Amino acid sequence: MEVRVHIERLILDGPSLGPADRERLEAALSTELSRMIAERGLPPGVARGFAIPGSIGGTVSRPSTDPEAYGRALAGAVYAGLGDGT
């Protein structure tokens, strides 16, 4: 099964990240979200496809200044929000 998740815009409220840290955050988010989907599967109804025009996932507190840790936390919020999109 092929799964594609497209995040058009990610808004982070807090200290700004430089270009290198943004890339690290994006890579960590993508890797962690892929891992979660591979291990846990998709929530019921998501496999047939859907689009969410608004935000999902709620608030994520920045766990540290480490962009990878922040990306993993964001992935968890996005994954949790996928179940809300059905």
Q: Torsion angle of alpha carbons 11, 40, 37, 12, nearest 10°? A: 10
pLDDT at 86: 44
Angle between helices 19-40 and 67-82 (to 10 degrees): 40
Please report, for residues 5, 23, 53, 62, 77, the alpha-carbon distance to residue 45 in angstroms, rounded to integers and kept in the order given.
Answer: 15, 31, 17, 30, 18
Tokens describing residue 63: 């766990």
pLDDT at 20: 94
What pLDDT digit, counting tens, does each position of 7-49 carry?
887 878 777 889 999 999 999 999 999 999 889 988 776 766 6
